[in-house]
A and B are shown apart, each in its own frame.
Chain A
Amino acid sequence: MKARVNVMLKNGVLDPQGAAVRHALGAMGFEGVNDVRQGKVIELDVADGTTEESIKQMCEKLLANTVIESYTIELA
């Protein structure tokens, strides 16, 4: 089975890369982009029956730095 983990910087944590992307979009003529936040997607191929709790542990211990990042888990 597949699991998808979305990792984003928490609200309130400055995202300089997102800000740079927003500026670039503005410079290219795309108007009305108020904010850009950049994160990452991590796809895991895990054994059938792997629990969401187990993936949550992976997020807490390695995949996300919960000081600055939040995460969501999608099981497929």
Chain B
Amino acid sequence: MKAAVLVFPGSNCDRDMAVALRKSGADVTMVWHKETSLPEGLDVVGVPGGFSYGDYLRCGAIAANSPITRALKAHVERGGYAFGICNGFQVLTEAGLLPGALLRNAGLKYICKTTPLEVATTNSAYTADYTLGQTIGVPIAHHDGNFTADEATLDLLEAEDRVAFRYGDNPNGSARNIAGILSENRRVLGMMPHPERAFEAAHGNEDGKAFFSSLVSAVVPA
């Protein structure tokens, strides 16, 4: 599987994401934000966590309009896979590739801790190796992770089984405890928690490993 990890000024989880993908068997290329095209024959694009462009204006807003993001949109329109973690999730919503938005945490504080997540669907390339309803522990580290969308959108996400993960103990005020969602074609995923930070024993737990193993085994080279 060929994967690319986007790198914006201020990204800081890009290398962790690349390590998790590589150790899961993917061939990974890092792509700088000023590039205007993605590598040929690419299967998956990862949008990493961090503080792209200093979180100026709104988290993810400037990155959503950078040159490489136009190439990302074209990749997704062709049916390509893409996932965004933390700031990457914010970028994907700002780019219009996923619905909703991420507001300031309800408690106003930056939260950095391992939090329980419920696997809300296994019907996706990212969650197939989990079991439905399984509780996993995954670190969160964000100030703006309070997922919001209008009621009709939330109803639609639930009706179409597009909630990938829910918080077991809602840390940030997210609507309906939503921690991660899928696009209509189920190929684009965004989530605030960091599975790449729970990837190997040295991280304290390996509950994020199945996220990457699911992806690498589900995505057959095009």
Asked if A68 and B148 sit within 8 Å, CB to CB, the answer is yes
A73 sits at the interface (CB 8 A) = no
Asked if B61 and A62 sit within 8 Å, CB to CB, the answer is yes
Q: Which residues of chain A are near B57, meaning CB under 8 Å?
A: 62-63
Q: Which secondary structure dominates where chain B touches chain A?
A: loop
Interface size bracket, A side: 10 to 19
Give the number of residue pairs across the A-B interface with Cβ within 8 Å.
36
* Interface positions of B from 82 to 117, Cβ below 8 Å from A: 93-94, 99-101, 103-108
Partner of B65, one of A16, A17, A61: A61
Asked if B61 and A16 sit within 8 Å, CB to CB, the answer is no
Asked if A17 and B108 sit within 8 Å, CB to CB, the answer is yes
In the complex, residue of chain A having the shortest beta-carbon distance to the beta carbon of B175? A14
Per-residue contact bits, chain A 65-76, to B (CB 8 Å; 1 contact, 0 not): 101100000000
B132 sits at the interface (CB 8 A) = no
Given known A-B contacts A14-B148, A14-B173, A68 and B108 have beta carbons under 8 A apart:
no
CA gap between A61 and B104 in the complex, in Å: 21
Asked if A13 and B103 sit within 8 Å, CB to CB, the answer is yes
Shortest Cβ distance from A54 into chain B, in angstroms? 16
Asked if B101 and A65 sit within 8 Å, CB to CB, the answer is yes
B58 sits at the interface (CB 8 A) = yes
In the complex, residue of chain B having the shortest beta-carbon distance to the beta carbon of A67? B101
